[in-house]
Every structure is written in structure tokens, then in C-alpha cells.
Amino acid sequence: MLRDTQVSIEHRTSELRVGVIGVGYFGRHHCRLLSELAGVVLRGVSDTNPQAMDDVLRSRSAQDRAGGVASELTASVDYRRILPLVDAVVIATPTATHCPIALECLRAGKHVFIEKPITSTLQEADLIIQEAHRRGLITQVGHVERYNPAFMRAQSLIDTPLCIESERFSPLIDRAFNIDVTLDLMIHDIDIVLSIARSKVRSIKALGARVLTQKIDMARAWIEFDNGLNAVLMTGRLYPHKKRTLKVFHREFSLSVDLHNMALARHFKDGASIATEDIVIERSEPLKNELMAFVNCVRDNIHPPVTALQARNALELTLLINDIIKENKAYESLMI
């Protein structure tokens, strides 16, 4: 059985062999960062695109030459061929393939890290959760903002918030043409809000629009929780610059979290005015923090900070918001 223990982000010493399945946009970053982690060996990569694997192999060869070492890295278009070589895998393939690949890896006895969203459907997420539980294996999902230093520091200051506001905007990129902005971007903030609220959802209102693609490009959601917390989430991908901010309001103070620039400020009443205190953040790469947490969980056999069940909950709420938007139920409360 897995132990429920607070995870610290630090290196361990025993060697862990890891493979990356899917080495496209995100997978390449996983390969790079895994190669930098102490006690971790990148042993295998797989992708249906041979050119993507060649790019990783060339990058790894350059790293080896610079470090004066020679490492063994197996590449195959069939991910099953790398499974006997590794203890754990990172799955960074298209979302529709997450479930079958994850199930096969779990059945082969491998711990799995799955990029968000966990799956396309709740039924698929349930299959992964059940299989991992049955085999006592770690399954972590890549909701990377949980490992953003600004949010990690803010967590220690959040008490009993009254309201949360999030804004997440970005330019439109090619890889986003076939996915709703809710599943691509808003799901990050939904996961964050759920981690703060720790309460059941009472009602949801949402609206959205298709602008440049056949998918939802802009969305806004209002969520009310049983504990009285209210959240307003805004997202879009038609903006010239990235913006990822979170505001958390308490009775006596508020927090402004800039996830993009890794900045944090606390605002509070000072006489007749509002004072601002900038809080120092120790900067680090969120994805690297996330992978270090996964490695530590595998080594210590403890639950990850973002479990498959938490990822399923974020997916459930995101899909519900999608349905409200697509069925023209904007501003209609929905009890769940």
C-alpha cells in the first residue's frame, strides 16, 4: 500500500530508470529535465515520429560529449520495447492515447506519470485509478502549476479564502487547434481551485465562444462551493502575450500570484489605504520540481501531490463546464 506522506522536493540517491513515451513538444522537456536529475537515468524514449526521437538522441549525444560520459538510451516507435528497460514512464502522448498506454504500462509493473489532462473521459480515468490501486503503483498527473514556486509559497499563506479569481491567457498555437481552451488551459486553474477549496461544488455558471477555431477559444466560469468559497475563472488563447495570474481574497488580506513571472504579493489594510508586501520567491523550474516529486514518490512509495483521483476531479469539472457552454446553459446554475 502507498503511504500518505508530505512530499519534499529534493533528490534521493538510488538510481531510477525512466522512459518517456511521446517526445514531442512536452516530451522533449521531460527528457531534458530527467537527464539533469541526480540518481535518474533516462533509458528509453518512444514516439510514432522517428524524427522526434532522432532529435532527442542528438540532444542526448551532445550532453554526453559535453559531460565526457557515454550513456545508453534506447529509442523505438513501439513503446512496449522500452518497458523492460525502465522502472517508471512518463506519458506525454496525445490525450486520447493516455488510457491504453497507461494501462499497459501499469500491467507491466511500471509507475506512471501522465501529462494533463489524465484522459479524455471519466471512464478512462477510472480504469487507470483502479489498475494503479490494484497493483500498488504510483500514478501522478502533470498539473504543473502545483509545482510553480509562486503557488507553492502562496499555499503556505492561504487560510480560509472567500473568493478566488484566475486569468490565464495565451497566443493561439498550432497544437491547440484540436482541443477546447477549457481542457488545454482552464483545467490548470480548476485543479488549483479544487486543491484550495477542498469542498464540494454547489453550482456552476459558464459561457464561452469559438472565435478562430472549431473549438472553444474563450471561456469564463463561476463556481460556488459548499463551504462558501466562490471562484471566477477566465481563460482564452487569442492574446498577444501570456498571462497566468491568481488572486486569493481573505477577510483581512489578499494574495496576488503571478504564475508566469513567478511573483507573489500580499495586500492588506494599512490605516485608510492598502499596503502591498512583495514576497520573495526562490525561483525554480516547475516541470523539474514536478518530476523530482514523482521520482521521490516512486522511491519512497508515497502518494504524489497530484494523484490520479485529483486529476479525475479536475477533468470532471472541466467537462461539466464544457457541457454548460456547448449546450448554451450560460449563467444557469447546475447542482452536482
Average pLDDT of every residue of the chain: 91
Residue with cell 494501462: 103
Please give the pLDDT value at position 328.
Answer: 72
Quick check: 124 pLDDT over 80?
yes
Please give the pLDDT value at position 175.
Answer: 64
Closest listed residue to residue 115, CA positions, set 216, 217, 21, 14:
21
- Is residue 238 within 8 Å of 218, Cβ to Cβ? yes
Closest listed residue to residue 161, CA positions, set 77, 69, 223:
223
Least confident range of 37-51, 59-73, 98-112: 59-73
Quick check: 65 pLDDT over 80?
no
At residue 302, what is the residue type?
I
The domains of the chain are located at 16-143+289-305, 145-284+317-334
User: Cα-atom radius of gyration of the chain, to the nearest Å?
Assistant: 20
Please give the pLDDT value at position 329.
Answer: 62
Residues 6+ apart with CB under 8 A from 39: 11, 12, 13, 14, 15, 16, 295
Q: Note the pLDDT tens digit of each residue in 266-323.
A: 999 888 889 999 999 999 999 999 999 999 999 999 999 999 999 999 999 999 999 9
For the chain, what percent of residues have pLDDT higher than 70?
90
State which H helix or E strand residue 225 sits in: strand 218-225
- What homologous superfamily is domain 145-284+317-334 in, according to CATH? Dihydrodipicolinate Reductase; domain 2 (3.30.360.10)
Please give the pLDDT value at position 63.
Answer: 66
Please give the pLDDT value at position 73.
Answer: 93
* DSSP output for 156-167: TT--S-SEEEEE
Closest listed residue to residue 105, CA positions, set 122, 89, 85, 124:
89
Residue with cell 481574497: 249
Task: Domain 16-143+289-305: give its CATH architecture.
Answer: 3-Layer(aba) Sandwich (3.40)
Please give the pLDDT value at position 173.
Answer: 79
Quick check: 12 pLDDT over 90?
no
For the chain, what percent of residues have pLDDT higher than 90?
82
Please give the pLDDT value at position 332.
Answer: 42
Least confident range of 57-66, 200-209, 312-321: 57-66
Q: How far does Cα 236 stand from its chain's mean position?
A: 18
Please give the pLDDT value at position 67.
Answer: 54
136: helix, coil or strand? coil
